[in-house]
Amino acid sequence: MSSQTLREARQYEEVYEKLIPAEERPKFHLSPRVGWMNDPNGFCIYGDKYHMFYQYHPYDAHWGPMHWGHAISSDLLHWEFLPAALAPDEFYDKDGAFSGSAITLEDGRHLLIYTGVMKRTVENGQVKEFQTQCIAIGDGVDYEKYDANPVINSDLIPEGSSKTDFRDPKIWKKDDGSYRCLVANRAPDGSGHLLLFKSDDCIHWDFEKIFAKNERRYGLMWECPDFFELEGKGVLLTSPQDMLPEGFEFHNGNGNICIIGDYDSATDTFTEEKVQAVDYGIDFYAMQTIKTLDGRRVMIGWMQNWDTSGAHDGKEPWFGQMSLPRELSIKDGRLCQWPIKELEDMRSGKVECKDALVAATQDLKASDSESIQGGVSFDGVKGRCVDLELEVKPANPDDMYDRFVISIAADEKYHTDIVLRPKENIAKIDRKFSGSRRAIVHQRRAHIPWNGDSIKVRIVLDRYSMEVFFEDGLYVMTASLPTDVSCDGIYFNTNKDAIVNIVKYDLQ
């Protein structure tokens, strides 16, 4: 039987969802049914549908007491909302049902595992937040919390590790039928480590080992871990808080990292080999993956940034969206991401420009001042729901441009820029002219070792976002866009003559 708290949330979202026109949402990125969305939760296949749960505050467009929102899809691009799955309605989760994951049990029931948050006063009078791992079991729509929650309590945490930073359980089933659960925790040195628990039934859990250690290298607390095997390697994804920059690989604040290494399944031993950023843009966090029925590993992240997510009008009917689903592979030892192939089924209205000249703009100097003034546009190459494939090369192979600028979501006043600087091996995204009225993070740079004079870029736009794929997906830069959807121009600028090949599709 659902609680009064959950019934009220379900009634609220059913009423207020109707006040949000479909054309005021992203077309093919999941947004909250109403109110606030952050981390993806419980990304899975159950029955014949993909399920996505998400951190959710239905009552306004700012973070609040965390519920779990719920949506289903047949293709990961078109979503149908279901009633909220969880609400903070028990003593152990009264201050929030935080992030987690999901799995199908042997008997066909659906299990959600999540972090229950409870604040309580400790000996010195301070109020502290305690986090434990809890489960709810259901049928894909309605879920009952387990009578003996929490199932992973603080007494299972290793000596010296934090009892207040203990969250975001990621569950999976092993070939022998047993289960593992990876939980983010803070180590005695103050930085993150990931704890591994094991179970035969998903209900009774034992601590197995410390699975991975940060040792103060990549930020402090590691959030939202995901682990899987891919092409003979173990792949660990996590989102560190409080990162320090390292060149253009990692940026300040809340980031995302991928660790690729060897994994011995028999002993659950993961040996780190290579560390990289997952997304080099502004808005990407808390990614989760699934293995599709046809064997692809697909990742979705929260397309926002904790350092900027408070800078919006809370009176908006919704805030937050998920990224494009991305197929993952390993290429040259790096994690490679590419838009899910189902996106190509949405393509229509092909426009192609072959060997088109973009003439140098005299006042486009090698500075940070981008402008669409004097930029080139091409007939039919515009829009805010588009899939754009672009190849850029110098008109004279002996006279390479210093800077090539692609301006999207543009009109005479507004534009967001993708800047290619091949001599420096730098790509930059810049949304300071996108219509934002706050001095939030507007720029990011990535170091991309381009090979040769030809640079290929794929840009996917969906009303309020852009996702830019370089080098066939070896580097990705993502940003949400506040620009009014009426700004649909796409312009090209260069400081030296360049030749472009463009294939542009509308996404219907």
- Mean pLDDT is lowest, of 361-365, 406-410, 470-474, for 361-365
Q: Does the pLDDT value for residue 367 go beyond 70?
A: no
Q: Which helix (H) or strand (E) holds 292?
A: none
Residue spans of the domains in the chain: they are 343-507
CA distances, 358 to each of 42, 378, 381 (Å) = 46, 10, 14
Q: Does the pLDDT value for residue 403 go beyond 70?
A: yes
Mean pLDDT of 106-113: 97
Report the SS3 class of residue 167.
Answer: strand
Give the confidence band of 121 by pLDDT, cuts at 50, 70, 90: confident
Residue 368 has a pLDDT of: 46
How confident is the model over 221-234, as pLDDT tens digits?
999 999 999 999 99
- Mean pLDDT is lowest, of 115-124, 278-287, 292-301, 335-344, for 115-124
CB atoms within 10 A of CB 253: 17
- Mean pLDDT is lowest, of 2-11, 76-85, 222-231, 360-369, for 360-369
CA distances, 135 to each of 17, 98, 146, 151, 175 (Å) = 28, 12, 6, 7, 22
Q: Does the pLDDT value for residue 369 go beyond 70?
A: no
Mean pLDDT of 234-249: 97
Question: Percentage of the chain with pLDDT > 70?
Answer: 97
Residues 6+ apart with CB under 8 A from 367: none
Give the confidence band of 365 by pLDDT, cuts at 50, 70, 90: low
CA torsion 417-422-425-429 (nearest 10°) is: 0
Q: Which two tokens stand for residue 335?
A: 């994690």
Task: Specify the amino acid at residue 481.
Answer: L
Residue 1 has a pLDDT of: 61
Q: Does the pLDDT value for residue 313 go beyond 90?
A: no
Report the SS3 class of residue 133.
Answer: strand
CB atoms within 10 A of CB 90: 18
Give the confidence band of 364 by pLDDT, cuts at 50, 70, 90: low
Q: Does the pLDDT value for residue 68 go beyond 70?
A: yes
Q: Does the pLDDT value for residue 197 go beyond 50?
A: yes
Give the confidence band of 117 by pLDDT, cuts at 50, 70, 90: very high
Q: What is the mean pLDDT of the chain?
A: 95
Q: Does the pLDDT value for residue 33 go beyond 60?
A: yes
Q: What is the 3-state secondary structure (H, E, C) of 24-66?
A: HCCCCCCCCCCEEEEEEEEEEEECCEEEEEEEEECCCCCCCCC
Is the Cβ–Cβ distance between 325 and 76 less than 8 Å? yes
Q: Does the pLDDT value for residue 270 go beyond 70?
A: yes
Report the SS3 class of residue 88.
Answer: coil
Is the Cβ–Cβ distance between 433 and 355 less than 8 Å? no
CATH architecture assigned to 343-507: Sandwich (2.60)
Please, is 437 exposed, middle or buried when counting C-beta atoms within 10 Å of its C-beta (0-12, 13-18, 19+)? exposed
Q: Does the pLDDT value for residue 372 go beyond 80?
A: no
Mean pLDDT of 14-25: 96
Mean pLDDT of 127-135: 94
pTM above 0.85, yes or no: yes
Residue 2 has a pLDDT of: 81
| Phi/psi of residue 494, nearest 5 degrees | -150, 155
Report the SS3 class of residue 348.
Answer: strand
**What is the rounded distance in angstroms from the CA atom of residue 461 to the CA atom of residue 297?**
23
Residue 82 has a pLDDT of: 98
Q: Across-strand partners of 194?
A: 184, 212
Give the confidence band of 370 by pLDDT, cuts at 50, 70, 90: low
Q: Would residue 39 show up in a list of annotated catalytic residues for this protein?
A: yes
